[in-house]
Each structure stands twice: as structure tokens, then as C-alpha cells.
Homo-oligomer: A and B are copies of this chain.
Amino acid sequence: MRRRPLRSALTLSALLLSAAWPATADTSAAQAAQEQRFDSLIKPADLKAWMEHMAAEPNQVGSPHDKANAAWQVAQFQSWGWDAHIESFDVLYPTPLHETLELTGPTPFRATLTEPPIASDPSSAHLAGALPAYVAYQGDGDVTAPLVYVNYGMPEDYAALARLGVDVRGKIVIARYGKGWRGLKPKLAQDHGAIGCIIYSDPHEDGYSLDRAYPDGPMRPPHGIQRGSVADMPLYPGDPLTPGIAPVPGAARLARADAKTILKIPTLPISYADAQVFLGALGGRLAPANFRGALPITYFVGPSAVPVHLEVKSDWQLHPIYDVIATLKGAAYPDQWVVRGNHHDGWVFGASDPLSGQVALMAEAQAIGALVKDGYRPKRTLVYASWDAEEPMLVGSTAWTSAHDDELRRHAVAYINTDGNARGIFSAEASADFGHAISQVADSVTDPETGVSVGVRARAALRVAATGDAAEDEAREAAKLAALPGHDLPVGPLGSGSDYSSFVQHLGVPAINLAFGEEGNAGGVYHSAYDSYTHHETWVDPGFVYDSLLAKTAGRLVLNLADADLPPQNPGGLAEAVSSYIAQIKKLAAHEREEAVTRAALLGAHAYTLAADPTRPMVPPPALDAVPVFDFAKLDAAAARLAKTATRYEVALKAKGPGLNVTAREKLQAVMLTIDETLAPPVGLPGRPWYKNLVSAPGRFTGYGAKTLPGVREAIEQRRWADAKLYIGVTADALDAYTSALEQAIAILTK
């Protein structure tokens, strides 16, 4: 469901430079032969046929085709030799009954809210069974009020509006997609007193400004609409009525009014063809420079002279959802599970998102099934999941992880996720101690466009992205690591936006998210009816080359994790990442401190008022409370202990691991199987305790984007000084717990 991560958003986690890592899998000729056989079993024609089938009709949650796809997948898995079944849950899934958006006044206009057919794309004319474009878990309502343009609708945009003297209380806001996650837009609007919200796709973000519009190019056409969930995911994802528990029949459900992730105000997504009319009706203050999109208008913030009428009414039924779970029992360590997932529900046809990743997962399962028929058995148990209801907000995966939380905590080695895929550069986000396992695979899979490994190509891309004066510090840091000979490929931290969230952020099970992208502009039709088989095949991955490559890459990682006798973690990568995050946070605190001082000086000198054009008055920004000096000693000490112990562990593992006897090896496996859970202690993040992982979480005000060491970092960003001080300690304790587990592992290795 999430858009392609940007290269520049990558932050770091990678193996300690000097540690030559013991192979996590058998490197013998037999393994090479098996990998070659595995790759030969991945056939682009299969992926293409599966996508055509699964994207043939609208497949959103609750649609007949989505249910049929699940049943069909069970049969497919079974035909490949897997145990497969459906696990069903009943979840709240609102669907629109009625939507109106109109501009009143002398030249009234009613928004079309529809995506017309495109001649060259047969899907687009066959929308029977599709829902009207909408955003799930908005608040229903019938409101009429003046309209205010709030740019991306992020906190800094409301700060800019406040400086213009514009507030949104009692107004309907119109926000453009981009910058922060979709759901924050209506959430922040309602927090600021707005009574309705429109979200539109400006051509500046994914329309003609970037490339030709579909069907002449990949980008969003004038009437393309981005659907999506606006559930308040940064509080908790999954079914809004059953936070933390499985939405099985008879589960204790919240009343809808008590479900905090359901928004309160009516919200609709619209196209830029429609939006231009509404934006064109705005007057009032000129929009600040960074509010300007690519429509051929002067952007004003409003309020509009004439009111806008917005009405949304939904059917708030529970719906059954269908997770497909396929398993293959491990021969040597059946109680250690390698979990692999992708979702199968889309917003309309869902070709790029999610089926491009789903058909890769199926290709892996088919190939593994074929290997098993040849006599192969993975040492660990494989669990392949095809999730339903990811789009409403990770509902299917969160339901399943709630239903199986204890088992997963005890058995899961790692969760490997994919989602929409495209052509181009390999990227990974992961628990930081899985960087080496990923890097090893990336360095062994060949990129079809260049002939080098996908790891070598990804390193090149990181290095090029960091050139130029505009590159950010984090991109430069990643590029530096990517250039170091022998260093692992840098992987980014996990935020949210796909099904890994409940694994890594709630249970503490390490997770990995893989994709190819940056070529083909798949994002142009993101979450619209134009995300079709024809669009994917024409613009995103012609020939299903990179979808097949994703299957080879993810499949190889699954098999490596399944068959390695020694634990896959490289704790040095975690240590390196944590130390880099701490440095960033210290810089952040210093920056905030300086800002507060500067702000106070400028306010004292009336500089904001004096500098402003009195015909366009600016309200001075508010004073900032002074930033205390934080004592980072505990965190520094914990990071130092972790780094030292990680090195000791890696040296010991290399020296002693291969020669361990069975008992010791099983003891070592047991320690390392649960070590990552130490990073997600029960306390959780301040104000949103569902999120327990203290190394990374989706940001409260970024949505999908990751915040690292979020207990500390977000407390400083949000000026919760007491929380910052508290979570310096809490985070240090979690790191110490990881270090203690490592000490146990070292003791086993060196006994």
C-alpha cells in the first residue's frame, strides 16, 4: 500500500566494517546449484498470468473477486505442495453509500468524483463492483462551510497559516497529497477545528509535472483519484474496534464511537481536474511559496467567499476478511518459523499495488514447492501469507499477528515483507541486525538491466544520490557506508505502510521489507482505478522482469534464513545504526535549542512584525520554550556496551560457531531467536503504547516515514521534555537487554 520509499529517506544499519561474517547458509556447490534451480523455476509468464487473473476485476476488501482470489490462492499453494488454508476475521470496514462535494454560489460546481475510462486500458471501462473513490475510516458527515487550502496539511503548514492569520475552525480544508502520510491530513485538520477535509492529487506530486499522464505516460491523469485509509495508524493499525486483540467472532469490540483511530470529520479524495475548480474559487491570502503546486493557477489559501458542501455517508458493517496462510514444515528446526508475506487486496484492480509483489511471493512458493518435490526440505518451517485487508490499514496481518502473538514471539525468526514492486534499484528496510543477511543476498542476485548484482547497483545508486549540494546528511552518510569496501549495503529503518508493522513494532519480531523501484513511475496511478494490469505491464515492469527478480531475491533470503545453522543477526549493524541515531538526536536537540534562542531574540526585537509587508501582515510565530540540556550518558553508555559486545559476539561466532555441538547450537539459536524482542519492551511509546519497538516506529507526524529511537527523538521534536529524559533511560535499558542476551550467546559460544 505504501508508495515506493525514496532513496534519500534511507538511514543506516550495517555490519561492523571489519567483521567478516560467517555465512548464514551453506555456501557449498550444492547450494549454488539449488539457487540456480530455484531461479530457473521463477517464470515471468507465470507472474504475468497470475496478475492478469487477480487484477481482472476490482479486488478491494469485501469484493467477490478479493474473496475468490484468496480461495484461488489456497488452491494454488496446495497444488504446489503446501499446507494452505484461509484464516478469516471479522473487521470493521466502512464502504461509501453516498458522497457529495460541491461548490455553491453563483457558479456552482459538483465534483465528478469519478475516473472515466481510458480507451487503451480495458480495465478502466469495467468498474462494476468497484467502490466509489473514498478514504476509509473518515468520519461521515454533511457539512457546508468556506474552504481553506492547507498545502500538504502537515503541522508546519498550519504554522504557516497561523502566521497569515488564517485558521480552519469551522472550515472545510483542502489538502494536497504528498509530504506526510494521507491520514494525517484529516486528523490534523480535525485537531485544528476543521469540519471537513478534501484531499487531492496535485500534478506537482504525481501528475503531468513529472511525466506524461496515463495512457501517454505513467503519471496520474486529470481525473485520477488516490484512495486510501485515513485510520489513525500512528496510534495503532489494524481493525479499529479490536486494538491489540484478534478480531475473531465474539471478540470484545469497542463501540465505533470509542475507536480512537476512526476520524471524526467527513473526508473525500478528489482528482486535480476537480480540485482546480475548488482551488480556483479561493481568494484571501496568497499562498506561501511552498504551497504552490503545478496547476496553472495562482494558489490562495482562502477562505473561499462561497461555501463548499461536503457529504459522506458510509455503511459501517463488519466484513469478513480472508488471510491465506500456507506452511511447509521445517525438517531440522520446525519450531523456528520464517514468515513471508504480501497482501492480496487492492483499492480497485491493484495491479502494481499489491499484486506485483503478490505474484512474486507466489512464484517463490511455486518454486519452493518444486524443490520440495525434487527432495529438498527447508530446515526451518516456512509460513507464506497472503494478507487480506492491508489497504484499510494492515488489518489482515494485524489480525493474524494478534491471533498468533505468543507463537510468533516464540517461533518467528523473521518476517519478510513485500508489497507493490517496480523496475530499477533494490532497496530494503529492516531491523538493523538483519542488514548482513540482506546484503549477502543482494550481492548474489544479478540485476538484469546492468549485469552487476542488485547490491552493487543499489550501492551505486546511493552514492550517486548523495552527490550534489542538495543531498541531505543522511543520504551522504548512507553513500559513505555504501562506498566502504566490504561494508554491507545500508538498509533503512522500518516505518509503516505495509504488513511488517505488527511483527516488528508490536511483537518485536525482526522484519525485512524488500522492493525494486525508482524506474517507471508506478506511483503515478497509485491507489486509482488506473493501477491496472495494462498500466503495470506497459509502464511499470514490462515483461515482469523485476517482479520475477523480486521473487528470486526474497526467495533466496527466505531459503538462507530457513537453512542456516547459525543465527542470522549481525548485532554490529544494530550498534552502528544506534550510534548514528544518537548522533542525529544530539544534533536535533542542539538545533532545537538554537532555534528557541533565535526565536526569542527575534520576537524581542519585533523582527517578524518589522520585516512583514503591512499590506500582507504576518503574525509573529509563537515563542518556543527553552530546550533543556539532556543527559545522554545512559544512552551513550548502552550504545558503547552494545558495540563492544557485538564485536565480541561476531568474533566468537566466527571462531566457534561452525564447530558448536548440537546442544550448544540449539541453545544459541534459542537466545538469538528472541533477542530482537528486547528492543520492543512492554512499555511502548509515550501516548501510543501499541508501538513497542524503541529502535524504529512510524512517526506520529510523518505517518509511514520512520522515526528512529522514537521514544527520545519524537519527544524532543514535540517538546515533551520529561518524556525525552524518561525515554533516554527506557531506550538505554532496551539496548542493555539486547546486550545482555548477546552476552548469553557469547557465553554459549565460548564455554
Contacts and interface: CB of A to CB of B under 8 A. Distances in A.
Interface string A450-466: 10100011011101110
A443 to B, nearest CB: 14
A53 to B, nearest CB: 27
Interface string A601-632: 11001111111011110000000000000000
Contacts of A452: 610
Interface in A692-725: none
Contact of A294 (B212, B294, B463): B294
A457 B612 CA distance: 9
Contacts of A292: 209, 294
B296 A296 contact: yes
Nearest to A607: B460
A683 B125 CA distance: 75
B425 A611 contact: yes
List 6 A-B pairs, minimum CB-CB distance, nearest first. A460-B610, A460-B607, A296-B296, A461-B611, A464-B611, A519-B613
Interface string A195-223: 00000000100001111110001010000
Contact of A464 (B459, B461, B607): B607
A341 to B, nearest CB: 29
A317 interface: no
Given A601-B483, A602-B463, A605-B463, A298 B610 contact: no
A75 interface: no
A434 to B, nearest CB: 24
A191 interface: no
Give the dominant DSSP class at A's interface.
mixed
Contacts of A464: 602, 607-608, 611
B519 A450 contact: no
A449 B467 CA distance: 45
A295 B296 contact: yes
A378 to B, nearest CB: 33
Given A467-B602, A615-B519, A208 B608 contact: no
A463 B298 contact: no
A245 B378 CA distance: 90
Interface in A71-91: none
Contacts of A203: 296
Nearest to A212: B298
A305 to B, nearest CB: 15
A208 B297 contact: yes
A290 to B, nearest CB: 9
A518 B611 CA distance: 10
5 contacts: A210-B289, A456-B610, A460-B605, A460-B607, A467-B599
Contacts of A289: 210
A343 B601 CA distance: 41
Nearest to A297: B208
B294 A296 contact: yes
A450 B217 contact: no
Interface in A405-459: 423-425, 449-450, 452, 456-457, 459
Contacts of A467: 598-599, 602
User: Which range contains the number of A residues in contact with the other chain?
Assistant: 35 or more
A463 B286 contact: no
Given A467-B602, A602-B463, A605-B463, A457 B519 contact: no
- Pick the most buried of A298, A450, A459: most chain B CB atoms within 10 A of its CB: A298
Interface of A: 203, 208-213, 217, 219, 286, 289, 292, 294-298, 423-425, 449-450, 452, 456-457, 459-461, 463-465, 467, 483, 518-519, 598-599, 601-602, 605-611, 613-616
Contacts of A294: 292, 294, 296
Given A460-B602, A460-B606, A464-B611, 6 more contacts: A210-B289, A213-B298, A295-B296, A457-B611, A463-B611, A467-B599
A614 B449 CA distance: 7
A34 to B, nearest CB: 28
A208 B296 CA distance: 8
B298 A611 contact: no
Nearest to A620: B464
A13 to B, nearest CB: 21
Contacts of A286: 211
A599 B289 CA distance: 34
Given A607-B463, A607-B464, A611-B464, A209 B298 contact: yes
B610 A450 contact: yes
Contacts of A616: 519
A217 B297 CA distance: 13
A42 to B, nearest CB: 21
A608 B610 CA distance: 48
- Pick the most buried of A217, A423, A457: most chain B CB atoms within 10 A of its CB: A457
Nearest to A602: B463
Contacts of A212: 298
Contacts of A601: 463, 483
Contacts of A614: 449-450
Contact of A457 (B483, B598, B610): B610
B209 A424 contact: no
A212 to B, nearest CB: 5
B460 A611 contact: yes
A620 B286 CA distance: 42
A609 B447 CA distance: 13
Contacts of A460: 602, 605-611
Contact of A211 (B298, B607, B610): B298
Contacts of A219: 298
A518 B608 CA distance: 15
A212 B297 CA distance: 9
A518 B610 CA distance: 13
Contacts of A456: 610
A514 to B, nearest CB: 19
